[in-house]
A and B are shown apart, each in its own frame.
Chain A
Amino acid sequence: MTEAAVCPVHQDRDHPLRPPVGFQEAVSDGPVRMLWPNGVEAWMVSSYAGVRQVLSDPRFSTRKGGQPEMRTDAGEAVLDPDQPGNINGIDGPEHMRLRRPLSRGFMVKRMNELRPRIQQIVDEHLDVMEAKGAPADLVASLCLPLPSLVIAELLGVPPEHQELFQATAGDLFGKNGSKDEYLAHATKLAEVLAPIVAAKKAAGTNDDMIGLMANDTDFSMDELIFLCIGLLAAGHETTSNFLGLFTLHLFEQPDQLEVLRRDPGRADVVVEELLRYTVGHLGGPGLTRRATEDVEVDGVLIRAGEWVSVSLMANLDEALCPRADELDLERDAVSHLGFGFGPHQCLGANLARAELQIGLRTLFERFPNLRPAVPVTEMRYRNDMITYGAAEIPVVW
């Protein structure tokens, strides 16, 4: 095996909506070895075919085990590797045991039934934003509360604990997550959740996610509580960042915004293209896997035990679609990797789609003249490694 160059991983961007400087060039001929800030080396795979291969080949495990894994800082891992209910860190039949019952709660049909309620939440929040008048912060007015209210309702948790969900999400997915802070928040959240679970068990109902998990599965209490924490956190952070980033990309590319304005009925296809493009432009390290056997990927032999970081910059690979580097809201939806691929593909994908479609469409229907109050490059961003987004989006209309 030839020794490939080792590039350091960093998150410095010269434009908030573009990948970290030099990153695309560094990984495009991959797989390449990259060096993480905590000293761990991992293969970075970023071709469309390579990413699909790694994410769907059972010889790549998501188990983080006892081995040091690449981290974006020198700190200690936030999650215990054997945390019960950590659906993203187990493989094969063990993973299917947790995943199957949850899939039922996120079925396309169920997400479609939720649409009127999502629309209502969007409408109410935009009413308030309009009544308060411009300028407004789009993040606080819509992007953050929408997914957070929806996931709380879907689970069956009172929304007043929102701040706690958000703090825990920050610990789990943030850049410098500290284990102590996470444990403190998770303990508080578990105290909120335990009586809710007990009540659902007593009532025997399965009309929300907690009821479904409590009464229709063999999940242990520890698994159930952590799954709730994970769902609240995942449902909270990702969609809100993306709704904000989508809006910013559209502000920066008015010709594309025009496509959505002309034909709001295309919101479903528009959201797929925005996901492809936005996830592709986040760049940086992606999803983590470890080879359990020697496997060849894109002509490189990855040895058993080596770490692999899968970059969803693969969404910009010309093998996926022509002019993959460009946002083109007129193209048909393609099989992008914005939600990952393989057995761990995003559980909340159909929920996120419904929220993003309804949120984006309604926003520009209600405020056809919506525009940024300050240049997009001067807004404040949260440059975390796992989740990236605007901290504030000041808008006028």
Chain B
Amino acid sequence: MTVRIDQERCIGSGQCVLAAPDVFDQSDDDGIGLVLIAEPPAELLPGVRDAVDRCPAQVVTLDE
């Protein structure tokens, strides 16, 4: 289970941070999405799936 963000296409919307604040953050330099926990434990996966769904640029992926 690996979480990734394609930062090239990320628009810095922060939807991932709202969906799973423990897993994602935004860079102080440019607001771009950051993955804090690349291999999140099971209890954080629902939030990650929500982020995958909500990301407006569709750049959050979870390889299951």
Contacts and interface: CB of A to CB of B under 8 A. Distances in A.
Contacts of B31: 100, 103-107
A104 B14 contact: no
Interface stretch (A59-67, A304-312, A334-342, A381-389): A334-342
Contact of A104 (B17, B18, B29, B54): B29
A343 B14 contact: no
For A96, A99, A100, A107, which residue has the most chain B Cβ atoms within 10 angstroms?
A107
Interface in A194-242: none
A83 interface: no
Interface in B1-24: 9, 11-14, 17-18
Contact of A100 (B14, B32, B53, B58): B32
A38 interface: no
Contact of B56 (A101, A105, A106, A340): A340
Contacts of A96: 11
Interface residues of B, number: 19
Interface residues of chain B: helix, strand, loop or mixed (majority): loop
Contacts of B61: none
Nearest to A103: B12
Interface of B: 9, 11-14, 17-18, 26, 28-32, 50, 53-54, 56-58
Chain A to chain B: the 3 pairs with minimum beta-carbon distance, closest first:
A103-B12, A345-B56, A104-B31
Given A103-B32, A109-B26, 15 more contacts: A56-B57, A96-B11, A100-B12, A103-B11, A103-B12, A103-B30, A104-B12, A106-B14, A107-B12, A109-B28, A335-B53, A335-B54, A341-B56, A345-B11, A350-B14
24 contacts: A99-B11, A100-B11, A100-B12, A100-B32, A103-B11, A103-B12, A103-B14, A103-B30, A103-B32, A107-B12, A108-B14, A108-B17, A109-B28, A335-B50, A340-B56, A341-B56, A342-B57, A343-B9, A343-B56, A343-B57, A345-B11, A345-B13, A345-B56, A350-B18
Interface of A: 56, 96, 99-101, 103-109, 335, 340-343, 345, 349-350
